[in-house]
Structure 1
Amino acid sequence: MLQNIKSVLIGMTEEGIDEPSAALAYGISLAEKSGAHATIQAASLKVVLGSTLVNSMGANLVAAHNRRLRELAAAVGERARGDAAAAGVAASVETPQLAYGQLVEVFVAQAMVHDIAIVDSETATVNADRGLIEALLFESGRPVMVIPEHCDTFKGKRIVVAWDASPRAARAVNDAMSFLKAAEAVEVLAVGSEKELSKSIPGAELAPHLARHGVNVTVKNLVSQGSIAATIADQLDLFGADMLVMGAFNHSLMREWVLGGVTESMLKETKVPLFLSY
């Protein structure tokens, strides 16, 4: 059983699009294997009219749309209760309907008081789900797991750590220690240029630290063949990884935090769950 994972937040947003949630099944599976409580937030986005000049027909259409989303979220919540009960997982389910800004605030506040937040992956760069992922990463102070399609069962036997000796990577390793200790094999992967790798052995300094925690760890350094993200993705396949642990990078653009290149690429392309810390 996973140690020190006692509270799991599973976040979903209902936007009226038929999108099956891998995060729900994965999160319940993780809670089952760790003996954790699951808090399931099946929220729906509330459309708010921005002008009092909108006619009654427009107001009625918006009200009907909000009602439909509310009903869909309630149905998801009921299914989540049943799934959690069937798995023997203690769970609380909430189905609030909130405007986008309020929804993000609620998710972030909830994440702060849970060990980890679990959400579905989102390939689009700009939409509500992507905004939620970024808010959880940059504002909650807690790790986030992003779950791609078809990953509906927690597996953590083989884990890759993307290591670049940065504070964020160190934070991710520490946050993921329970998973690393429980894994059968952990590979510390460093990707860089030939010049960078000729000067040092990235990851060599991390391996003894992990070994002292009882982690079965190896180190692998790879010369980047073009895209760092593509190199990491290829190694995930070769290693048979169940999870990738990495620090989330960003840069400031017009005062808004925007995900950095490698993190952005992994969110779009990953086939395994991402464990991200910032």
Structure 2
Amino acid sequence: MVQNIKSVLIGMTEEGVDEPSSALAYGLSLAQQSGAHATIQAASLKVVMGNTFVSNIATGLVAAHNRRLKQLAQDVAERARGDAAAAGVAASVETPQLAYGQLVELFVAQARVHDISVLDAEVATVNADRGLIEALLFESGRPVIVVPPGVDTFKHERVLIAWDASVRATRAVNDAMGILKSASAVEVLAIGSEKELAHEVPGAELAPHLARHGVHVDVKNLVVGRDGVAETLREQAGLIGADLIVMGAFNHSRIREWVLGGVTESLLEDCKVPLFMSY
């Protein structure tokens, strides 16, 4: 049982696309196992007409579109209430319909008063869900679990830590400590070139720290494959049967803070294992 998580924010955004949500089932599973309260945001994007000279026909079409999205979000909310009740999870369900900027502000504010947020993975880089992932990572000060399609149960028997000794990776490990302590096996994985790994063993100093917290930990160092760090991570996660990857979200741009680094971006686009990320 994960005892340090008492409030879980589950975010879903209705955009009129028929995409099943894994975040709801996964987030409820996490709340059930940790005895936490779940706040479910079944949000819908509101299209706002900015031109005062738009025709009445266009205005009517936009209003109808917004009503449809609102109804779809309310349908999701009703199912969510039933799922939470069936799982025995105390939950509050909200169905805000806001313009994108306001929706982001709402989610960030909510995330700050919850222990963790759970969102669906989103392949497209230009998408409301992807924007929410980035906003919560960079602005909430809380960790985020990104759930890939088809994963509906929170599991943490085997956890893989992507370790590079950075501030963000350090924060992720600390944020995930309750999960790590209750896992059966934790592997600290450092990936680098042969030259880098010949001079240092990045995970060696982290292992004793985790062991003092009662974490069952092993350390592994891998030379990065020709397909890059992200693919090496994916392969190792598959080899050990990882239920969760703990990592720091990497931002490689000082100018555009919304642009995620290559490894994080690649994993968000393609990873069968949920990602526990901090920034």
**Fold similarity call, TM over 0.5:** yes
State the partner residue of 2:125.
Answer: 125
Asked if structure 2 preserves the Cα contact closer than 8 Å seen for 1:183 and 1:215, the reply is: yes
State the partner residue of 2:270.
Answer: 269
SS in structure 2 opposite 1:259?
Answer: coil
**Stretch deviating more after TM superposition (206-215 or 255-264):** 255-264
Name the Cα RMSD after superposition. 0.8
What is the Cα deviation at residue 3 of structure 1? Answer: 1.0
State the partner residue of 1:17.
Answer: 17
State the partner residue of 2:170.
Answer: 170
SS in structure 2 opposite 1:125?
Answer: coil
SS in structure 1 opposite 2:259?
Answer: strand
Aligned partner letter, 1:230: E
Aligned partner letter, 2:272: K
State the partner residue of 1:235.
Answer: 236
Aligned partner letter, 2:134: E
State the partner residue of 1:72.
Answer: 72
What is the Cα deviation at residue 254 of structure 1? Answer: 4.9
Asked if structure 1 preserves the Cα contact closer than 8 Å seen for 2:253 and 2:261, the reply is: no
SS in structure 2 opposite 1:230?
Answer: helix
State the partner residue of 1:251.
Answer: 252
What is the Cα deviation at residue 253 of structure 1? Answer: 6.4
Aligned partner letter, 2:114: H
> Mapping of 1:68-217 within 5 angstroms?
68-217=68-217
Per-residue Cα deviation, 1:23-68 (whole angstroms, up to 9, x for no partner): 0000000000000000000000000001011000000000000000
Q: 2:222 and 2:255 mapped to 1: Cα distance? A: 34
Q: 1:116 and 1:151 mapped to 2: Cα distance? A: 18
What is the Cα deviation at residue 255 of structure 1? Answer: 3.8
Q: CA 1:126 to 1:95, structure 2 compared with 1: closer, same or farther past 3 Å?
A: same
Q: 1:77 and 1:264 mapped to 2: Cα distance? A: 30
Asked if structure 2 preserves the Cα contact closer than 8 Å seen for 1:117 and 1:142, the reply is: yes
State the partner residue of 1:31.
Answer: 31
Asked if structure 1 preserves the Cα contact closer than 8 Å seen for 2:13 and 2:45, the reply is: yes
Asked if structure 2 preserves the Cα contact closer than 8 Å seen for 1:246 and 1:277, the reply is: yes
SS in structure 1 opposite 2:204?
Answer: coil
State the partner residue of 1:63.
Answer: 63
> Mapping of 1:33-52 within 5 angstroms?
33-52=33-52
Q: 1:139 and 1:125 mapped to 2: Cα distance? A: 18
SS in structure 1 opposite 2:236?
Answer: helix
Q: CA 1:77 to 1:157, structure 2 compared with 1: closer, same or farther past 3 Å?
A: same
SS in structure 1 opposite 2:41?
Answer: strand
Q: 1:100 and 1:57 mapped to 2: Cα distance? A: 23
Per-residue Cα deviation, 1:227-263 (whole angstroms, up to 9, x for no partner): 1000010000001000000000113365442100101
**Stretch deviating more after TM superposition (254-263 or 136-145):** 254-263
Q: Report the TM-score, using the length of structure 2 for normalisation.
A: 0.98
Aligned partner letter, 2:229: I
Aligned partner letter, 1:263: T
Aligned partner letter, 1:273: P
Asked if structure 1 preserves the Cα contact closer than 8 Å seen for 2:163 and 2:190, the reply is: yes
What is the Cα deviation at residue 127 of structure 1? Answer: 1.2
What is the Cα deviation at residue 269 of structure 1? Answer: 1.1
**Runs of 4+ residues over 6 Å off in structure 1:** none
Asked if structure 2 preserves the Cα contact closer than 8 Å seen for 1:23 and 1:147, the reply is: yes
Asked if structure 2 preserves the Cα contact closer than 8 Å seen for 1:251 and 1:257, the reply is: no
Asked if structure 1 preserves the Cα contact closer than 8 Å seen for 2:9 and 2:40, the reply is: yes
Q: CA 1:168 to 1:256, structure 2 compared with 1: closer, same or farther past 3 Å?
A: closer
Q: Report the TM-score, using the length of structure 1 for normalisation.
A: 0.99
Give ranges in structure 2 of 5+ residues lacking alignment: none
Asked if structure 1 preserves the Cα contact closer than 8 Å seen for 2:251 and 2:257, the reply is: no
Q: 1:118 and 1:107 mapped to 2: Cα distance? A: 11
